[in-house]
Structure 1
Amino acid sequence: MGMGHGRRRWAIGLVASVALVVACAPGVGITHAGPRGAGASEVRDYVSNVAAEERVPGYAVAVTGRDGRDLFVATGGRDGDDRPVDEDTPFLIGSVAKSMTATLIAQRVARGEVRLTDRIGTHLPWLRAGDPTVEELLTHTGGYTAADGLAVAERFDNSPGAVRRAAQDLDHSGTVGRYAYSDANYLVLGALVEALAGRPFAQVLRSDLLEPLGMRHTGAAASDAAGLPPGHRFWWGHPRGYAPGFDESGGPFGYVVSTLGDMQRWARTQSGRAPGVLDPSILAALHQPRVRSGDDDYAYGWRVSRGAVPQTIQHTGATPGYFAHVLMTSDGRDVVVLMNAYGEAEAPVLASIAPNLLRVLDGQQTVSERGDIVLSSAPWVAAVAGLLGVAMIGLAWSRPRRRGVRIGLAVVAGIVCAAAASIPVVLGSAYRTVWIWAPDLAAALIVTVAAWAVAAAVLLLRHGNRPI
């Protein structure tokens, strides 16, 4: 889950042309507790420093070795209810849930209940548009765009039939066969799981995977999230609690709650340490690279590194307020990273934590990643643009007096207003989506649009202290 990057950066450039970037505020510290394992001191320092620099209120991380023993386990900070984070603290795992949905499908393929070449309309005749194959959905080549998925995300629908209702509301805006990462693909696969099993997705997930694996603190039903504390979104670089509720309609692609221990079990399972639950042939199918997806390849619910030694199989996940990362290496090590804060600007740094943990344990230098400066600056830029709009209202009330100058300034104000209002459109989403993922930017854009619209109106309707 998450907003797309390419068009978003270009759109934010529209705002950046209006005003100057202001400096970011200083960070806050985080209390660290409970590291254990070989190399714990160095890893502890690394995790603590990154969490403090990125202002993440709480985290839980673990590295499991080749023999299945913990190399490092640590929890730190506090959850959204101001309780210390421990190994039983629940987190949302975001798109890591896609690996679970893909596994449910792979199980059914192995049993002959569905074929990878089946057109999805064969099983879901009610689907409104597009008819990709099951495999195309697994590899994000089903013709759904990121915007299609975002449009039906965060519905917070927990009543019976939630997954099907969300899938029925999907638009199909892309090209079948072309890779485009979208939650929509896995939402449809979740609906397929329900159709094949005749039960809700959350129930199938529990009976077919979670219970056999002993993952007792994981689930995709609202009842499983009863103890989930608020996550955190970033407002101008500072974390603020966010607890909109759970969303069962998002279970197949992101709304699964879990704990550090359970996610370690999931990683060990995907590494082949539970053959009684997942046959090696199923794992081989899940982890086989299928399509190119930027710097890596996409398999079924997993990303596979291209040319790296050791090879990595991994997936990050983000929901508004939470970040997760599960990474497995071909030399037998697993990494789990859970954070109770997320922002698009912080995403590059958060995604670098898991591979850097392995580098620290191996005595290597970490690879430094910086937050996206464009995205972190955008809310400040939009806020400055809004303040300039407010200042323009005051100026327009009495000056300038010449009609031509006022009309010219009104045109400029209208252009600024239109540019700010177009940002969500250029992103391929709505203000609702921007508000969910970047609330500070959304708030600043609203102020900017309103201020420059009022300024344009005042410039056109008043002349000096007298109406025109």
Structure 2
Amino acid sequence: MTATPALADDLQRQVDAIVQPLMQAQRIPGMAVAVYANGQAHYFSYGVADKADNRPVTRDTLFEVGSVSKTYTATLVALASAQGKLDLDAPASRYQPALEKSALGSASILELGAYSADCLPLQFPDEVSNDKQALVFLQQWQQKTERGTRRCYSNPSLGLFGNLAAQAQKRPFAELMRQDLLPGLGLKHTYLQVPAAERSHYAQGYDANERPIRVSPGPFADEAYGIKTSATDMLAYLRAQLDPQGLSADMAKAIAITHGGYFQVGDMTQGLGWERYPYPVALDTLVKGNGVQMIREAQATKRLQPAQPAGPAYWYNKTGATTGFGAYVVFVPSKGMAIALLANRNYPNDERVRAAHAILSAVTP
């Protein structure tokens, strides 16, 4: 559904007034904004996907979404759980024999997915350049904290989480994503590797020095930050979070699993991939919850037992970035609203949060 012309024009003015100054202040070449509210989908496109040829951004432009990819990985893992192919409470060593007798081998799948198995680093060290070396690094890891007491946001932790789901099913992770998860969600323009036929839609990212850049291969890249998608597909993905009707029963169950609350970290409750806050939520709480400290520093955490179920009255969100792209996505089931901000430049999380909050405040019923 799309809005009536009058409503669409009014929302266009409101979004323009928020996004255009943001782009100018942060030197963002191009942005795609998708909003779902009052049962209607809205798309807003700004600037260029590539400065070299002035190719404009459209709702079909493909953006790297960085760590928003973790929510897709979490759904893939949760789907394996819903299908009885993986036990989230099982130790990692059950599915990855290389971790047997290692410190991380006794950590549960769930703890790894919630960054609470141990204080693993944000990134792998530079000398770890592929998945095989990543597994050796994790095999040799020495425990630093008591399991379940500290949340340390970590690509290695989430990467292993996704890898274990692939090991449990004896299929490559990328194959599971491409053949099972993305089609199961009805996503036709979401990729780990952008195919040749879609390269003309792939935005060019830009780093802090205005140099063109796209994401490079790295250890567990597919699991942790590999998704490229469009505003159209991203909004379809967010609408599936709001209402999984039309998806398989297993996929609907998987989505509910990712929405659950497993660890309490201050005002934020850690789900699988998603982070959630009771709604309504103050802007300052969201800014803090998505801030640099939450990403780069260890946070005291407490496991919720039993886990909190998925619920409608929450603000669910996730930020993501690569060197040349920045993304932020939100959905609030009780309000039936969602938003995606996709940009071909990495810019501060607090600016993304403020922009999304302002836009959703304008459309909140």
Counting only pairs closer than 5 Å after superposition, residues 37-116 of structure 1 correspond to structure 2 as 38-67=10-39, 69-70=40-41, 72-80=42-50, 81=52, 82-116=54-88
Is 1:333 the equivalent of 2:337?
yes
Q: 1:334/1:153 Cα in 2 relative to 1: closer, same or farther (>3 Å)? A: farther
Is 1:296 the equivalent of 2:268?
yes
Alpha-carbon deviation of 1:335?
0.6
In the other structure, the counterpart of 1:259 is 230
Q: 1:88/1:280 Cα in 2 relative to 1: closer, same or farther (>3 Å)? A: closer
Matched to 1:300, the amino acid is L
For residue 187 of structure 2, give the secondary structure of its aligned residue in structure 1: coil
In the other structure, the counterpart of 2:291 is none
In the other structure, the counterpart of 1:350 is 352
Check conservation: 1:116, 1:133, Cα contact below 8 A.
yes
Check conservation: 1:92, 1:258, Cα contact below 8 A.
yes
What is the CA deviation profile of residues 390-413 of structure 1, one whole-angstrom value per residue up to 9, with x for unaligned ones?
A: xxxxxxxxxxxxxxxxxxxxxxxx
Check conservation: 2:74, 2:162, Cα contact below 8 A.
no
What is the CA deviation profile of residues 306-349 of structure 1, one whole-angstrom value per residue up to 9, with x for unaligned ones?
A: 45365211111111111111100131111111011014xx2321
In the other structure, the counterpart of 1:359 is 361
Alpha-carbon deviation of 1:257?
0.9
What is the CA deviation profile of residues 259-281 of structure 1, one whole-angstrom value per residue up to 9, with x for unaligned ones?
A: 11111111011112344235543
Q: 1:107/1:57 Cα in 2 relative to 1: closer, same or farther (>3 Å)? A: same
Structure 1: how far apart are the matches of 2:127 and 2:354? 26
Alpha-carbon deviation of 1:172?
5.2
Alpha-carbon deviation of 1:256?
1.1
In the other structure, the counterpart of 2:114 is 139
Is 1:212 the equivalent of 2:167?
no
Check conservation: 1:202, 1:221, Cα contact below 8 A.
no
TM-score, normalized by length of structure 1? 0.62
Alpha-carbon deviation of 1:198?
2.3
Matched to 1:120, the amino acid is A
Alpha-carbon deviation of 1:240?
3.3
For residue 78 of structure 1, give the secondary structure of its aligned residue in structure 2: strand
Report how many aligned residue pairs link the two structures. 315
Alpha-carbon deviation of 1:243?
3.3
RMSD, aligned α-carbons: 2.6
Check conservation: 1:324, 1:338, Cα contact below 8 A.
yes
What is the CA deviation profile of residues 380-427 of structure 1, one whole-angstrom value per residue up to 9, with x for unaligned ones?
A: xxxxxxxxxxxxxxxxxxxxxxxxxxxxxxxxxxxxxxxxxxxxxxxx
Q: 1:63/1:248 Cα in 2 relative to 1: closer, same or farther (>3 Å)? A: farther
Counting only pairs closer than 5 Å after superposition, residues 126-205 of structure 1 correspond to structure 2 as 126-127=98-99, 129-131=103-105, 132-147=107-122, 149-151=123-125, 155=129, 163-170=131-138, 171=141, 174-175=144-145, 176-177=147-148, 178-205=150-177
In the other structure, the counterpart of 1:323 is 326
Structure 2: how far apart are the matches of 1:102 and 1:216? 19
Alpha-carbon deviation of 1:196?
2.1
Structure 1: how far apart are the matches of 2:353 and 2:125? 25
For residue 252 of structure 1, give the secondary structure of its aligned residue in structure 2: helix
Check conservation: 2:244, 2:252, Cα contact below 8 A.
no
Check conservation: 1:143, 1:172, Cα contact below 8 A.
no
In the other structure, the counterpart of 2:97 is 125
Alpha-carbon deviation of 1:283?
2.7
Structure 2: how far apart are the matches of 1:102 and 1:342? 23
Q: 1:229/1:335 Cα in 2 relative to 1: closer, same or farther (>3 Å)? A: closer
Larger RCO, structures 1/2 (Cα 8 Å, 6+ apart): 2
In the other structure, the counterpart of 1:249 is 220
Structure 1: how far apart are the matches of 2:88 and 2:111? 8
Check conservation: 2:234, 2:340, Cα contact below 8 A.
yes
Alpha-carbon deviation of 1:152?
6.2
For residue 290 of structure 1, give the secondary structure of its aligned residue in structure 2: strand
Alpha-carbon deviation of 1:288?
1.6
Structure 1: how far apart are the matches of 2:253 and 2:215? 40
For residue 114 of structure 1, give the secondary structure of its aligned residue in structure 2: coil
Check conservation: 1:59, 1:338, Cα contact below 8 A.
yes
Structure 2: how far apart are the matches of 1:280 and 1:244? 31
Counting only pairs closer than 5 Å after superposition, residues 343-422 of structure 1 correspond to structure 2 as 343=347, 346-362=348-364
In the other structure, the counterpart of 2:317 is 314
Structure 1: how far apart are the matches of 2:314 and 2:18? 23
Check conservation: 1:221, 1:248, Cα contact below 8 A.
no
**Which residues of structure 1 form unaligned runs of 5+?**
1-34, 156-161, 364-468
Structure 2: how far apart are the matches of 1:199 and 1:213? 19
Matched to 1:105, the amino acid is V
Q: 1:273/1:108 Cα in 2 relative to 1: closer, same or farther (>3 Å)? A: closer
Higher strand share: 2
Check conservation: 1:220, 1:248, Cα contact below 8 A.
no
Higher helix share: 1
